[in-house]
């Protein structure tokens, strides 16, 4: 049963939250020609608003409701303490342009977070400004371009990207007019070294690599891959989406990456919010540090005796510029990630990755007999299997939809593109063994159902509040705004 | 403290199923010399200790509710946030949900965003809205991407008014540095007293997009209709960067003929949060929908005939178009779009008008009282909304220092960005500023100037 | 089994070319691969010179996006703007839905129907 929209619930004259009368003398508004005629917004009482949104919330699946084995998304549990710390008034009600003396707490937090992320990733410098992973990627690619330009090297226009890469990688390179050269993966799921060697020349900007890759596999030749790219003068970009496998295990900076974006809303438990906001800090090696976006947080005056250091904003010498207004996703992302890292410490973070990898391998071991997992080696925090059942025409899409009948959110579908009917499964470390067993048992059951009762699977879901959507109708008959009841805008 | 629910016994059983000896054994593929690095981080805290630490850090700040009176705007505004907003945002079903790629179990998020799209369309006077961008600055940069894609790269000039927010202009420059575009008009030394039509000579058949701000960075209200007509006569598109609270009272950019209206949605129920996260709204006309970046929620029916909502026209986006996409954007500011929708629902048509009127009245009172001080004047004669530029006979830094000693954050020092506006401050007044606070501002300024 | 009229010529990138009229469209195999088409845009104008293999249009379905490439080099003498209003016609009538009309060659370098059918079979898995 669909909930009515705000506009349908509206009734002229209903008031929600109201405000005091002006406490100052009256000033006329400007000439009528500058004013708007009507304001067609809804009129609802507070109780109407609360019931409406409470009803809507009940139609949502969420981490707080159940398991979300979405590969590449790291849907780990979002600690509640983070919700409280990011809402402290000292954080909530500070203006980004306030005098720095009045916000030393914020600046200290940002500075320390920069230092912690450097320590975790092995990079020389970190910016906290980018708003999301894709934003961080764009930042990284801009820096790579600026680096070559600053060296007077204008030949470099080619970006090497593996076939398993997330779509944001080529899109970021495309935004800067670079040519994307796709490097295939070999039969063990590693970057094909011969194909890579053939492309490494002096027109290479660099390589954008996710490691572990989107198959969940740690590249067995990672040192060689990086060496090949660096030897031809290219830079190594690391897509940090899969960092949940690497905390305390290996540092991308140590391996030779030059630049990497973090996804605080994946690895560091910042909640996904139904699609955002994210937070995408970027770490860089020494040779890219001068190109970071401005401003960074730095120490303007060193500590002296009892006086703490004075934190403020600094501009990197050859900065690419500003990626957005103000400083980054302070409230939503940075404070939560800071709280999370403070509570885990080095050992806790290593536990996170070890158990994330344990859980993924456990699920793979339980499912290997039933579904084809194309790459037969230990995976990292996620793995990809083919969503097909031998002897039936049931596909990944159908299996996904049927999982919903068992109260599981489906895994990532049809990505990466290099595996047929791909289902990418990432359990994360915050799931217990019972949940994992139930999930594996359910997938095995669905495989059986596909053989004995394929129609049931192909027409799933059956028990969810809504069924499969007519996506063609949505696209062909574009309706992007609520229908307004007749005479809606009249006073 | 961690959140891992697996006991040592369970761990060992799982290792046995996998067929490895230990957790460390799962990481053989990692080069030995880099494996298991020492990370120099402070020792782990329990929840109690973390709560205490963060409280200490937060209270070492001086904030604009408990500690300081603020007259600072310049892109982020101190508005009242109704209680209801955060209560809804704190529902786990909303904030711990993922992107609604599985619509059957995400109708909460999808309908909320669909309603958000409708509300922003109504507010701006445009035809459709996407599900949001990171902030107003990046939304403006995405407008450039749209215009560029619209003309298929044949038009490579963008005209930007110097009275667009300096940080927005910087962001646009950063975004477009690889696109071989000419950016014109963006000159801080330009004549700031000139009318918007002064940009007209810069607009030609090479121009893809013209960008102006409403109210502009100095708080001024202009009717851009004539400028927009001039731009359209050259075949160029126009993007207006608008303040959403102002739109409760003033003529919409849609009514002026704008092609794209973007802006910062923070004033609609989001805290200032030291600058982020915030909300970039993006609205436009139907004919540009296929070139628009960002998520889009559309209405449809499900297999049971129920009206429902789904992410649509997804083929525009990076996961399908890859390097041919207009933009690489993946997220929208989901939870914050929800916040702004809750805000707009609970203040409603009349509440928003009240807020806007309070801002207008109080700002005009502040402007009048300040301009009575000898040596202090208003820089610009045009109508303004809730911000105005004031010129002082002394440096703004000196005045602000004195104000801070009295617990007041003064206006934004315009001399930082505009050489012609040294000793000028941008003062913002919202419904949160009482008459007493405004009177105090005036008193302290009088004091420092005497 | 896709439909492949013998009066037409075919490019490897799945466009068809009618030597009699100079009209260009996409094949039955192509529309099947894309499935429900929701948007189509012609990216060249009347009078433009095009090279074989350069983009003349783009097509979007619910789950994919594809570039339509010119099968031959020549001059665009007409564009079918009507098709942009009813992109679903490409699915229901791929050979009756033309995108552009090009003057400049007879398409003899392109594949004939049997060769194109074989090309499609080889790709199906």
The DSSP element (H or E) to which B69 belongs, if any, is strand B69-70
Q: Strand, coil or helix: what is C66?
A: strand
> With 90 as the cut, is the pLDDT of residue A19 above it?
yes
Distance from CA of B315 to the nearest CA of C (A): 6
Contact A263, A133 (CB under 8 A): yes
Find residues 444-473 of chain A whose CB sits inside 8 Å of chain C.
471-472
Check CB contact under 8 Å for A472 and C62. Answer: yes
pLDDT at residue C105, rounded to an integer: 85
Q: What is the pLDDT of residues A155-168, one digit of tens each?
A: 999 999 999 888 88
Measured CA to CA, the distance from residue B211 to residue B205 in angstroms comes to 16
Tell me the pLDDT band of A490, cut-offs 50, 70 and 90: very low
Distance from CA of B227 to the nearest CA of A (A): 15
**For C44, which residue in chain B has the nearest alpha carbon?**
B152
CA torsion sign, A396 to A399 to A402 to A408? negative
Distance from CA of C44 to the nearest CA of B (A): 10
**For C43, which residue in chain B has the nearest alpha carbon?**
B152
Q: What is the pLDDT of residues A362-414, one digit of tens each?
A: 999 999 999 999 988 999 999 999 999 999 999 999 999 999 999 999 999 98
Measured CA to CA, the distance from residue B79 to residue C78 in angstroms comes to 56
Check CB contact under 8 Å for B321 and C67. Answer: no
Measured CA to CA, the distance from residue A381 to residue B100 in angstroms comes to 23
Q: For the sheet containing B237-242, what is the strand order?
A: B128-129, B280-284, B260-264, B237-242, B207-214, B157-160, B182-184
What ipTM is given for this predicted complex? 0.96
Nearest-5° Cα angle at A70, A382 to A362 = 40
Rg, chain B, Cα only: 25
Distance from CA of C39 to the nearest CA of A (A): 8
DSSP code of residue A334? I
> With 80 as the cut, is the pLDDT of residue A29 above it?
yes
Distance from CA of B202 to the nearest CA of A (A): 25
Residue B35 CA, chain-centre distance (Å), reads 42
Neighbouring subunits of A (3+ Cβ pairs under 8 A): B, C
pLDDT at residue B326, rounded to an integer: 65
How deeply is B343 buried, as exposed, middle or buried, from its count of CB atoms within 10 A (0-12, 13-18, 19+)?
A: buried
Residues of A in contact with C62 (CB under 8 A): 471-472, 475
Tell me the pLDDT band of A415, cut-offs 50, 70 and 90: confident
Q: Which residues contact A356 (CB under 8 A, 6 or more apart)?
A: A244, A245, A381, A426, A427, A428, A429
Check CB contact under 8 Å for B290 and C41. Answer: yes
CATH of region B69-81+349-449 = 3.90.1150.10
- CATH 3.90.1150.10 residue spans of chain B: 69-81+349-449
Neighbouring subunits of C (3+ Cβ pairs under 8 A): A, B
Check CB contact under 8 Å for B57 and A5. Answer: no
The beta strand positions in B366-429, using DSSP E, are 377-378, 387-391, 408-409, 412-413, 424-428
Residue of B67, B306, B338 with shortest CB distance to A274: B338
Query: Which stretches of chain B drop beneath a pLDDT of 50?
Result: none
Residue of B106, B250, B274 with shortest CB distance to A60: B106
Distance from CA of A46 to the nearest CA of C (A): 38
Residues of C in contact with B320 (CB under 8 A): 63-65
Closest to A30 measured CA to CA, from B214, B366, B222 = B222
Residues of A in contact with B114 (CB under 8 A): 5, 480-482
Check CB contact under 8 Å for B93 and A64. Answer: yes
Residue of B271, B328, B348 with shortest CB distance to A15: B348
DSSP code of residue B135? S
pLDDT at residue A66, rounded to an integer: 96
Residues of B in contact with C63 (CB under 8 A): 314-315, 320
Distance from CA of B314 to the nearest CA of C (A): 7
Structural domains of chain A, ranges and CATH numbers in brackets:
81-343 (3.40.640.10)
Alpha carbon dihedral B190, B195, B196, B199, in 10-degree steps, equals -50
Residues of C in contact with B314 (CB under 8 A): 62-63
Check CB contact under 8 Å for A475 and C62. Answer: yes
Check CB contact under 8 Å for B324 and C67. Answer: yes
Q: What residue ranges do the domains of chain C occupy?
A: 9-106
Residues of A in contact with B364 (CB under 8 A): 24, 27
How deeply is B187 buried, as exposed, middle or buried, from its count of CB atoms within 10 A (0-12, 13-18, 19+)?
A: exposed
User: What CATH fold (topology level) applies to the domain B84-343?
Assistant: 3.40.640
Residues of A in contact with B156 (CB under 8 A): none
**For B312, which residue in chain C has the nearest alpha carbon?**
C62
Residue of C41, C64, C67 with shortest CB distance to B320: C64
Q: DSSP assignment of B8-67, as one string?
A: HHHHHHHHHHHT-SSSGGGGTTS-GGGSS-----PPP--HHHHHHHHHHHHHTS--TTTT
Q: Which residue shows structure tokens 């509710």?
A: B65
Nearest-5° Cα angle at B113, A276 to A4 = 145
Residues of C in contact with B315 (CB under 8 A): 38-39, 60-65
Contact B336, A186 (CB under 8 A): no
DSSP code of residue B353? H
> With 90 as the cut, is the pLDDT of residue A176 above it?
no
pLDDT at residue A361, rounded to an integer: 98
pLDDT at residue C2, rounded to an integer: 66
Q: Of B289, B296, B315, which to mutate for an interface test with C (greatest number of C Cβ within 10 Å)?
A: B315
- CATH 3.40.640.10 residue spans of chain B: 84-343
> With 60 as the cut, is the pLDDT of residue A491 above it?
no
Q: Give the B:C interface size as CB pairs under 8 Å.
A: 25
Q: Strand, coil or helix: what is B85?
A: helix
CA separation, residue C24 to residues C19, C33, C58, C83, C107 (Å): 9, 18, 13, 12, 11
Specify the pairing of strand C65-69 against strand C55-61.
antiparallel
Query: Which stretches of chain C drop beneath a pLDDT of 70?
Result: 1-2, 124-125
CA separation, residue C95 to residues A17, B27, C17, C82, C83 (Å): 60, 55, 10, 15, 13
Contact C113, C8 (CB under 8 A): yes
pLDDT at residue B174, rounded to an integer: 94
CATH of region C9-106 = 2.40.50.100
> With 60 as the cut, is the pLDDT of residue A470 above it?
yes
Q: Of C34, C37, C38, which to mutate for an interface test with A (greatest number of A Cβ within 10 Å)?
A: C38
Q: Give the A:C interface size as CB pairs under 8 Å.
A: 12
Q: What is the pLDDT of residues A327-370, one digit of tens each?
A: 999 998 999 999 999 999 999 999 999 999 999 999 999 999 99
Q: At what angle do helices B334-371 and B435-449 cross, to 10 degrees?
A: 50
Check CB contact under 8 Å for B104 and A321. Answer: no
Q: Strand, coil or helix: what is B104?
A: helix
The DSSP element (H or E) to which B117 belongs, if any, is helix B107-124
Mean pLDDT is lowest, of A9-13, A322-326, B312-316, B318-322, for: B318-322
**Whole-structure pTM value:** 0.95
- Tell me phi and psi for residue A10, to 5 degrees: -65, 150
Q: What is the pLDDT of residues B265-302, one digit of tens each?
A: 999 999 999 998 999 999 999 999 999 999 999 999 99
pLDDT at residue A217, rounded to an integer: 94
């Amino acid at each position: 049963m669909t909930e009515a929209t705000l506009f349908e619930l509206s009734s002229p004259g209903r008031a929600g939250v109201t405000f005091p009368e002006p406490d100052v003398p009256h000033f006329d508004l400007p000439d009528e020609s500058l004013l708007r005629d009507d304001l067609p917004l809804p009129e609802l009482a507070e109780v109407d608003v609360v019931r409406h949104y409470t009803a809507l919330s009940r139609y949502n699946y969420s981490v707080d409701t159940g398991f979300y084995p979405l590969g590449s998304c790291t849907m780990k549990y979002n600690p509640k303490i983070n919700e409280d710390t990011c809402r402290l008034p000292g954080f909530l009600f500070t203006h980004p342009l306030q005098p720095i003396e009045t916000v030393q707490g914020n600046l200290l937090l940002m500075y320390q977070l920069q230092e912690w992320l450097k320590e975790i990733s092995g990079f020389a410098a970190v910016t906290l400004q980018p708003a999301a992973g894709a934003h961080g990627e764009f930042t990284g690619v801009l820096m790579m371009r600026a680096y070559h330009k600053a060296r007077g090297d204008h030949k470099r226009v080619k970006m090497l990207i593996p076939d398993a890469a997330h779509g944001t990688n080529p899109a970021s390179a495309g935004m800067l007019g670079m040519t994307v050269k796709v490097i295939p993966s070999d039969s063990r799921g590693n970057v094909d070294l011969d194909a890579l060697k053939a492309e490494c020349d002096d027109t290479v900007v660099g390589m954008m690599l996710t490691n572990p890759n989107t198959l969940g596999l740690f590249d067995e030749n990672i040192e060689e891959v990086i060496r090949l790219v660096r030897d031809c003068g290219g830079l190594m970009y690391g897509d940090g989406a899969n960092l949940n496998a690497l905390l305390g295990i290996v540092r991308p900076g140590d391996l030779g990456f030059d630049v990497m974006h973090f996804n605080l809303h994946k690895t560091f438990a910042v909640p996904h919010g139904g699609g955002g906001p994210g937070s995408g800090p970027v770490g860089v090696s020494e040779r890219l540090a001068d190109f970071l976006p401005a401003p960074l947080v730095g120490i303007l005056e060193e500590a002296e005796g009892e006086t703490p250091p004075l934190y403020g904003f600094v501009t990197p010498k050859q900065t690419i510029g500003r990626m957005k207004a103000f400083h980054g996703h302070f409230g939503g992302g940075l404070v939560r990630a800071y709280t999370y890292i403070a509570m885990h410490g080095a050992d806790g973070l290593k536990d996170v990755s070890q158990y994330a990898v344990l859980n993924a391998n456990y699920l793979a071991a339980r499912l290997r007999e039933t579904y084809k997992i194309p790459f037969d080696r230990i995976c990292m925090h996620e793995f990809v299997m083919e969503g097909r059942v031998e002897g039936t025409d049931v596909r990944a899409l159908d299996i996904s939809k049927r999982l919903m009948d068992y109260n599981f959110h489906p895994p990532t579908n049809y990505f990466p593109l290099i595996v047929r009917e791909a289902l990418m499964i990432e359990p994360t470390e915050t799931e217990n063994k019972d949940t994992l067993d139930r999930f594996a048992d359910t997938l095995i059951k669905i495989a059986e159902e596909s053989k004995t009762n394929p129609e049931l699977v192909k027409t799933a879901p059956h028990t969810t509040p809504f069924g499969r959507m007519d996506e063609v109708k949505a696209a062909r008959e574009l309706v992007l705004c609520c229908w307004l009841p007749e005479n809606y805008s009249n006073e | 403290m961690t959140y891992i629910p697996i006991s040592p016994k369970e761990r060992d059983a799982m290792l046995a199923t996998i067929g490895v000896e230990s957790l460390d054994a799962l990481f053989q593929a990692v080069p030995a010399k880099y494996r298991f690095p020492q990370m120099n981080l402070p020792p782990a805290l329990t929840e109690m200790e973390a709560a205490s630490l963060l409280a200490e850090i937060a209270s070492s700040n001086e904030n604009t509710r408990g500690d300081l009176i603020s007259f600072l705007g310049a892109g982020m505004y101190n508005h009242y946030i109704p209680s209801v907003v955060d209560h809804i945002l704190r529902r786990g079903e909303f904030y711990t949900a993922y992107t609604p790629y599985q619509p059957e179990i995400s109708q909460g998020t999808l309908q909320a965003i669909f309603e958000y799209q409708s509300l922003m369309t109504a507010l701006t006077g445009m035809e459709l809205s996407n599900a949001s961008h990171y902030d107003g600055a990046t939304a403006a940069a995405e407008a450039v991407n749209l215009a560029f894609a619209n003309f298929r790269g044949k038009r490579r000039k963008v005209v930007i008014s110097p009275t667009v927010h300096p940080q927005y202009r910087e962001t646009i420059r950063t975004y477009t540095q690889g696109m071989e575009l000419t950016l014109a008009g963006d000159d801080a030394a330009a004549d700031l007293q000139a009318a918007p039509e002064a940009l007209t000579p810069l607009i030609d058949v090479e121009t893809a997009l013209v960008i102006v701000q409403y109210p502009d960075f100095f708080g001024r209200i202009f009717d851009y209709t004539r400028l927009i007509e001039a731009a359209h006569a050259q075949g160029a598109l126009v993007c207006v960067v608008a303040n959403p609270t102002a739109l409760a009272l003033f003529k919409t950019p849609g009514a002026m003929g704008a092609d794209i209206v973007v802006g910062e949605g923070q004033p609609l129920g989001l805290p200032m949060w030291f600058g982020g996260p915030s909300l970039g709204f993006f609205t436009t006309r139907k004919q540009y929908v296929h070139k628009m970046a960002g998520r889009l929620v559309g209405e449809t029916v499900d297999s049971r005939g129920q009206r429902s909502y789904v992410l649509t026209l997804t083929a525009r986006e990076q996961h399908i178009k890859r390097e041919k996409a207009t933009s690489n954007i993946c997220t929208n500011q989901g939870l914050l779009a929800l916040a702004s929708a809750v805000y707009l629902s609970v203040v409603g048509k009349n509440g928003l008008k009240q807020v806007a009127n309070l801002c207008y009245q109080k700002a005009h009172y502040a402007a009048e009282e300040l301009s009575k001080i000898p040596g202090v004047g208003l820089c610009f004669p045009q109508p303004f909304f809730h911000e105005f530029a004031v010129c002082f006979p002394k440096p703004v830094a000196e005045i602000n220092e004195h104000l801070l000693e009295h617990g007041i954050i003064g206006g934004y020092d315009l001399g930082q960005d505009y050489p012609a506006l040294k000793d000028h401050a941008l003062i913002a007044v919202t419904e949160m500023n009482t008459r007493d606070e405004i009177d105090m501002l005036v008193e302290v300024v009088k004091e420092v100037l005497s | 089994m896709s439909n492949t009229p013998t009066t037409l010529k075919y490019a490897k990138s799945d466009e068809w070319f009618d030597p009699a009229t100079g009209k260009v469209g996409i094949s039955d195999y192509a529309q099947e691969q894309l499935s429900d088409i929701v948007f189509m845009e012609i990216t060249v104008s009347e009078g433009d010179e095009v090279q074989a293999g350069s983009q003349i249009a783009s097509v979007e379905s619910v789950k994919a996006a594809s570039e339509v490439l010119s099968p031959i080099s020549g001059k665009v003498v007409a564009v079918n703007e009507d098709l942009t209003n009813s992109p679903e016609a490409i699915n229901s009538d791929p050979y009756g839905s033309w995108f552009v009309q090009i003057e400049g060659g007879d398409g003899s370098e392109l594949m004939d129907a049997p060769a194109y059918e074989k090309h499609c079979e080889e790709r199906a898995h």
